[in-house]
Structure formats: C-alpha cells, structure tokens
C-alpha cells in the first residue's frame, strides 16, 4: 500500500521561483509513488487575513492553477480545500487540549510571523488572536487527518512539524496508539535568495519572480538585481560569488562556467549578463505559462479537480475522526 503524503499551501498569492525550486520540486518527485493530498490551506490563510477574505478566495484558484502549471498531476494528487473538510476543525478542537499556550508562544515559526505582522498583532504580539496562535494545532490536524507520513515542506515549517509530532505523541500516550508521527522532507534547494540579496525570496519581501510574471516584468526585476558593488565599468573584473545574477545563473544551471570565468576576467558586462538571465528565466517559465493558460481558459476543469480531490479528502478525514473519537471515548451511537 502506498504511504500518504500531505502538504499545504496558504492561498495568499501566486507561486514564485522560491516555491518552484524549493518545496514544489518534491511534489513532482513524490506524486508517482505516494497517495498524495495537497491542501489549499484557506482556513489557515484566514488566520492572518481574516480581514481580507476576497484575497484568500481569489488565490485558492490562482495557486491551484500555478500548481497544475508546474506539472502537479491531478490524476495522481488530491487537491483539496481545507475549508471544505470540517473534520480538520473538529480535530483542532480535540488537539487544543494537548498543547500549552506557552508552547505555542515559543514556537519559532509563530514568533517570526508575529513579528512580521505588527500592524495585525501589535508591536509585541499583544494583539495576537487565539486563531493565529493556535494555527500550529490546526496544522497538526491537517497532517493527521490524512495520516500524513511524509510532509514535503520548506525549512521554515520545521517547528510546526515538531509541534505536530508532540501532539501526536501526547495523543497516543493518553488515548492509545491512534495517530501516525509524520516525517518532514526538505527539498535539495533549501531556500532561494531574493534578487536583492535577501536570504529569502518572498512575496511579502517584494523581491520575488512569480511564475506568472511577463517577460517585461522579469526584465524589470532582473535589471535591479544586486551585483558585485566593486564592479563599476563593463570590463572591470568582478567576484561572481557576491552577485545575485550569478547566483540565479547557477540556480537555473545556465552556462555557469562561462558566466563565472568571463565575470572574473572582466569579459562580461552586467547588463548583458542580466539579459542572458532574463532569457533563461523566460525559457523556464514559457511552458509553465502555456500550461497555465489552458486552465485559465477552462475554469470548470479547475473546479472539477478541486471538487474531486476534496471528496476523496473528506472520506479520508472522516475515517480518522472516527478513530480519534473512539480513542477519546466520545463515539456515541446516537
């Protein structure tokens, strides 16, 4: 029997190259050999976008189309909407007894995100909501509802996975062996840097190249990329290791040796080098955008994919809740 894989994405924006080279690569590798549940985590997205439901609603479709466009195969992967699986909310309530408030406050991912969202949660997190603080519990419900054994994620998610494992162990020790402890799977490219040199490419950091970006947008973004500050003139010798353009040539595996040696010898101007990168990115994105266009023109197909995946996900989650309620002695026949 195939093992279950589960992962989730918050529908708050389009996928970018950081996703593409990060966690998404693993989706394509895993989809053949596992029973794969891919959650569009709209309920989780609402924990820090509760005041912007239109954004979340719009992006559930957007992100689904992005995923289909990069080659996630709907015949192999169950796409589903978190909000349409009430069992996840139910499990969240049961698990909330198994985690302390202080443990959630110490969760590094929660702490980082809270600090990034001062306008929502206050300068010192004094206005943090119950829902946001508790989203790791809900994520544990996501994972265990589908008996997820392997969870492909980015590095930033590791504290959430640890939190999930703790909840599983606590549940099993009190109510008997019921839930499976998940393992994480990190991608080979752990984190993709931004063109601005930031350690992370992120939509909120304003340094991301989205899979849906047009050629002109990509050109505009790449032209602003950070290069070796000591290179002033076109034929100055430079150090590619401090240049974001070179970093991206490496990421895309685009003439790496040539770029490196010409840059070091002062035989390559930055503008030409950037143009080569623009072309390489466009070449990568062209087939993705073509595939995406098909789904944009066939929205009913996207709806069908979400609906069928969600129905399968509902069945799986119902089974888990049955087991959980039995173990907790709240399974009544009335």
CB of 162 to ligand TRP, least distance (A): 12
Pair of tokens at residue 322: 């049955």
User: To 10 degrees, the CA torsion angle through 4, 25, 71, 251?
Assistant: 180
Among 4, 5, 8, 19, contact with ligand TRP (rule: CB under 6 A): 8
Residues 6+ apart with CB under 8 A from 70: 15, 20, 24, 28, 211, 288
The CB-nearest residue to ligand TRP is: 8
Q: Contact region for ligand TRP (CB under 6 A) — 150-158, 239-247, 302-310, 311-319?
A: 150-158
CA 332 to chain centre: 38
DSSP string covering 285-313: HHHHHHHHHHHHH-HHHHHHHHHHHHHHH
**Torsion sign over Cα 64, 67, 68, 69:** positive
Specify the residue, 63 or 69, whose C-beta has the smaller distance to ligand TRP.
Answer: 63
User: To 10 degrees, the CA torsion angle through 106, 110, 116, 119?
Assistant: -90
CA–CA separation, 260 and 298 (whole Å): 44
Pair of tokens at residue 43: 């309920």
Pair of tokens at residue 118: 């001062």
Specify the residue, 210 or 246, whose C-beta has the smaller distance to ligand TRP.
Answer: 210
CA–CA separation, 283 and 278 (whole Å): 9
CB of 117 to ligand TRP, least distance (A): 13
Q: Contact region for ligand TRP (CB under 6 A) — 135-143, 213-221, 293-301, 322-330?
A: 135-143
225 scored as a contact of ligand TRP (CB under 6 A): no
Among 4, 5, 10, 19, contact with ligand TRP (rule: CB under 6 A): 10
Specify the residue, 156 or 296, whose C-beta has the smaller distance to ligand TRP.
Answer: 156
Among 48, 62, 87, 142, contact with ligand TRP (rule: CB under 6 A): 142
Among 139, 144, 207, 227, contact with ligand TRP (rule: CB under 6 A): 139
Q: Contact region for ligand TRP (CB under 6 A) — 3-11, 221-229, 246-254, 324-332?
A: 3-11
Specify the residue, 23 or 273, whose C-beta has the smaller distance to ligand TRP.
Answer: 23
Task: Please give the C-alpha separations between residue 312 and each of 170, 289, 302, 318, in angstroms, as whole numbers.
Answer: 28, 28, 16, 10
* Footprint on residues 29-88 left by ligand TRP (CB under 6 A): 39, 41, 44
Footprint of ligand TRP (CB under 6 A): 6-10, 39, 41, 44, 139, 142-143, 151, 153, 157
């Amino acid at each position: 029997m195939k093992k279950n894989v589960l992962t989730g994405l918050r529908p708050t924006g389009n996928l970018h190259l950081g996703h593409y080279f990060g966690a998404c690569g693993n989706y394509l590798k895993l989809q053949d050999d596992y029973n794969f549940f891919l959650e569009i985590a709209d309920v989780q997205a609402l924990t820090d976008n509760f005041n912007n439901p239109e954004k979340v609603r719009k992006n559930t479709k957007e992100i689904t189309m992005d995923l289909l466009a990069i080659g996630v195969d709907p015949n192999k992967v169950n796409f589903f909407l978190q909000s349409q699986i009430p069992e996840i909310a139910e499990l969240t309530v049961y698990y909330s007894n198994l985690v302390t408030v202080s443990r959630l406050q110490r969760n590094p991912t929660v702490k980082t995100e809270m600090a990034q969202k001062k306008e929502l949660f206050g300068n010192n997190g004094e206005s943090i909501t119950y829902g946001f603080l508790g989203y790791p519990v809900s994520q544990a419900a996501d994972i265990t509802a589908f008996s997820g054994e392997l969870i492909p994620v980015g590095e930033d998610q590791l504290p959430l996975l640890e939190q999930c494992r703790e909840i599983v162990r606590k549940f099993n020790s009190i109510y008997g062996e019921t839930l499976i402890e998940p393992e994480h799977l990190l991608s080979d490219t752990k984190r993709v840097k931004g063109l601005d040199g930031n350690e992370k490419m992120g939509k909120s950091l304003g340094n991301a190249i989205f899979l849906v970006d047009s050629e002109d947008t990509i050109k505009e973004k790449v032209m602003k990329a950070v290069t070796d500050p000591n290179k002033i003139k076109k034929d100055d010798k430079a150090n590619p290791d401090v240049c974001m353009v070179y970093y991206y040539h490496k990421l895309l595996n685009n003439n790496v040796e040539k770029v490196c040696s010409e840059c070091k010898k002062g035989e390559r101007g930055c503008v030409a080098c950037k143009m080569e990168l623009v072309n390489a990115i466009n070449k990568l994105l062209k087939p993705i955008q073509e595939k995406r266009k098909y789904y944009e023109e066939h929205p009913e197909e996207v709806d069908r994919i979400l609906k069928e995946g969600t129905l399968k996900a509902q069945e799986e989650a119902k089974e888990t809740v049955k087991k959980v309620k039995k173990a907790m002695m709240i399974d009544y026949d009335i």
